Amino acid sequence: MAPASASIAAPVGARPRVLIVDDSAVARAVLTRMAEGAACTVAHAATNIAGALQFLACESVDVILLDLEMPGIHGLAGLPDILAAGAGARVLVVSSAAADGAAATVEALALGAADTLVKPGNCLSSGSFAAALAEKLVRLGERSEPAIRTLAAPSDTLHEVDAVAIGASTGGIHAINTLLTALPPAFRRPIVITQHLPAAFVPFFAEQLGAATGRSCVLATDGMLLRDDMIAVAPGDAHLMATRMAGGVIGIRLSRAPVANGNMPSVDPMFESFAACFGKRLLAVVLSGMGRDGLAGARRVRAAGGTVVVQDQASSVVWGMPGAVAAEGLAQAVLPPEAIGSFIIDGARVFA
């Protein structure tokens, strides 16, 4: 189920309307206080999925704060109905960092939840959790006017592709799944991915992506050779970079060096290093996400003659990362994820 891109709940500039779905009375009270402190309006606090669906049948909201671990209908089982009834509301999943919670959260993100927030182990009312929640609620609740996008010159020549590098953040897991499942089995070029995600969740993301695509999907390790028929995902605590190894083969190097944008892992060093190794035969993709990570890297990709494609605003949960690249005129195409899959095959003329 693709997440809808717009909600009629609040006009541009209005306080975002929030629906809280949590079986704990204490959690509902604490989350309500935090959301209202973040200049949001809590429209309703439901105790279960059924109550949330009943409310959504009559009312619209911008953000749904969903606890996955509830009795009765589990949050994950009810998510498709919540997405449908929400009519464009962004779903922020709250879960534990334990293995079961992490796996369920990654599955929820693949189904179309917009973002995730890990519950603190001891105190829900901790200051760091409140600050993180406030930032996510405000960002997910923003309603902006359509942005003007600028495409790179149509005369630019597209090249045969030897590698695909994908960067994403908020809303990216669903977009990555959609893009990669649109690729036919005959596509064999290596694919590398940097997705902003808590480190504990990344192994479950790689496992979920492998199951969804039927391709070999692994966590990148230092010194790993880049080969056809592989998807390599950056670990949550290191940048995934390309390096030329002995004999001229290209491998993966992991780096924990700080970068200007502050992200770990970051899309920029991935794009920059792959542009240095592959030049015009690299295709870089920027999907839904907050901020501007990937912009500096996209500049390097274009300077090296490579191809840059970004996700369109309509299908993005947050058009920060792709929007920044498009606004600077670096994108040769602005497309929804499923069309990016087709572009990789048809537009960039990749040959198996």
Residue positions annotated with a catalytic role: 169, 196, 293
298 touches 266 (CB < 8 A): no
Specify the DSSP element, H or E, that contains 185: none
The CA–CA distances, whole Å, from 330 to 32, 153, 154, 327, 333 equal 41, 9, 11, 8, 9
Specify the DSSP element, H or E, that contains 43: strand 41-46
175 touches 337 (CB < 8 A): yes
Could you write out the DSSP letters of every residue in 69-106?
A: --SSS-HHHHHHHHHHHHTTPEEEEEE-SSHHHHHHHH
108: CB partners within 8 A, 6+ apart: 66, 68, 75, 76, 79, 91, 93, 95, 116
Could you give the CA distance from residue 26 to residue 15 in angstroms, rounded to a whole number?
24
Quick one: 258 exposed, middle or buried, by C-beta within 10 A (0-12, 13-18, 19+)? Answer: exposed
- For residue 348, which of 307, 288, 316 has the smallest C-alpha distance? 307
